[in-house]
Structure 1
Amino acid sequence: MSVHPLCPPSAPSDPDGALARLADHYRSMPPVAAMDIRIEGYDGHCLRLSAPLARHVNDKGCAFGGSLASMMTLASWGVVSLHLERAGLKADVFVADSQIGYLAPLFADLAVEAEAAPGANWETFIATLRNRGRARIAIVAHARLPEGGSATEFAARYVAIAKP
């Protein structure tokens, strides 16, 4: 894994309600609701989430590694789900596998960004799901340090299985 550039800033504009539906879905899961996750932006490619450090602090005063892993998993799941919704497809989305690297402690609120991995193609993913009823895509995510760079990097494959 390597540090990738930060997602461009974007306001959480939500004209079709997709981000509100995603936020509702996150809140519908009790463990996720307890994380106090907020959707900070989505530009059609990159989803940005945040959560207060106070909800995720460990015994060293920095962000708990499990919280960082969970937030990157949720952001990655969310970006896949948003692309499926935009394509008008209903599918169950699962994380197939993931790899995480902890690069530096994070002593600030959690800010996570997720997007398709370099070389991954949303059009191919959507077409494969339509044709085969199942598709997978590589996603990358990271937790930003306030001074720039990444505290944590995440790479995963997500699988979508079409609903009948």
Structure 2
Amino acid sequence: MSTAAADLERDLLATIPLARAMALRVVAHEGDWLELAAPLAPNINDKGCAFGGSLASLMTLAGWGVLHLAAAAHGLDCDIYVQDSTIRYLAPVWGELRCRAQPAAGESCADMLSALAARGKARLRMECAVALPDGGVAATLSARFVALRNAAAA
């Protein structure tokens, strides 16, 4: 795992109590995608499978993490927010929660970073999916994130 990805994991666990409670970890990061995971035990529901709120949180944090890593790699100090999202729950997760996030088709972190540098704000739609062990998809999140450059960094 890259130093930036390890730093992201440490920061998420240090600053977001929910990430700690979920036992979240960064699994992989390359370019415009990020993969996060969390064990089932702290994320279980009354049926014995993954809690929907944990799936939503994992996907949201993965999408946010992609933008955070891209901005940090380019030295851009900004705040990143989820503006809106749509979640689809397709199948139960009976084991480890694994999520991959990447920009939606036709979008890129590079375009978002250019807009952020030029205008001080930018938006990017992210697609996130929780995988099943057989290669299927348990849940998806389509979200629009907003990045606002911090005034002191402008």
State the TM-score, normalized to the length of structure 1. 0.89
Aligned to 1:43: 30
The alignment partner of 1:126 has SS state of helix
Whole-Å separation in 2 of the counterparts to 1:109 and 1:51: 6
Structure 2: 5+ residue runs without aligned partners? none
Structure 1: 5+ residue runs without aligned partners? 1-11
Counting only pairs closer than 5 Å after superposition, residues 1-164 of structure 1 correspond to structure 2 as 12=1, 14=2, 17-28=3-14, 29-163=16-150, 164=152
Greater helix share, structure number: 2
State the TM-score, normalized to the length of structure 2. 0.94
The alignment partner of 2:22 has SS state of coil
The alignment partner of 1:34 has SS state of helix
Q: Sequence identity of aligned pairs in percent?
A: 43
Quote the offset at 1:32 in angstroms: 1.5
Aligned length: 150
Whole-Å separation in 1 of the counterparts to 2:23 and 2:109: 29
Quote the offset at 1:88 in angstroms: 1.3
Superimposed CA distance per residue, residues 41-92 of structure 1 (whole angstroms, 9 cap, x where no aligned partner): 0111210111100111111111000000000000000001001111111100
Runs of 4 or more, structure 1, over 4 Å off, are none
